[in-house]
A = this chain, B = another copy of it.
């Protein structure tokens, strides 16, 4: 069994996804927000690629429990109920609801992973639980960092490194090069993951937009034990 990490969604070979356990990471903020929403009692999350697709799907579902969430340029989309800040997704707002979400990078990565045997969503906030769930599968694991507009994302690589480090402690995996580098990067920065997130491109952007509290929130390791799993176009809690 082997683990590899991809630092973006472009050019991932199909052989790295098909029949593998795939973990999709978008720490700032899609996979964090989806984890928090499910932890808060949201029934399911439907990731879509565009705001138009989200609005059409809400009309098609004709279910008053549906909420629209997501961002473009890190900000709430006009006409949507919620943005992409995990702090908005409280039990008062999302419990018992269905969420349609579209984000710039995360939802594209989730859709790319669709051929995986199992597809989990990982972030810093649920990284320990995701590692445990992935190790149970006893098959090759591919970790996809969503990246930011076709560039490398520090925060996704850090979370990938945490998960690789945890997986190697749980089970006897062979590490391919991307997994080795992510693990070493995590080991170099593990004393202060929040500092790494704050110096990331996306972290600095959120800080400038007055969303610095989101960066702190997203950098905490293991604050939720929810593992979102994607299948048939829908994300639910595992189990």
Q: Which residues of A contact B (CB under 8 A)?
A: 4-13, 16, 148-154, 157, 176-178, 180-181, 184-185, 187-189, 199-202
Contacts and interface: CB of A to CB of B under 8 A. Distances in A.
Nearest to A6: B152
Nearest to A15: B150
* Total copies of this chain within the assembly: 2
Contact of A188 (B148, B149, B185): B185
Chain A interface helix/strand/loop/mixed: mixed
Given A8-B11, A152-B5, A184 B189 contact: yes
A9 B8 CA distance: 11
A20 to B, nearest CB: 13
Contact of A176 (B11, B181, B201): B201
A184 B188 contact: yes
A147 to B, nearest CB: 9
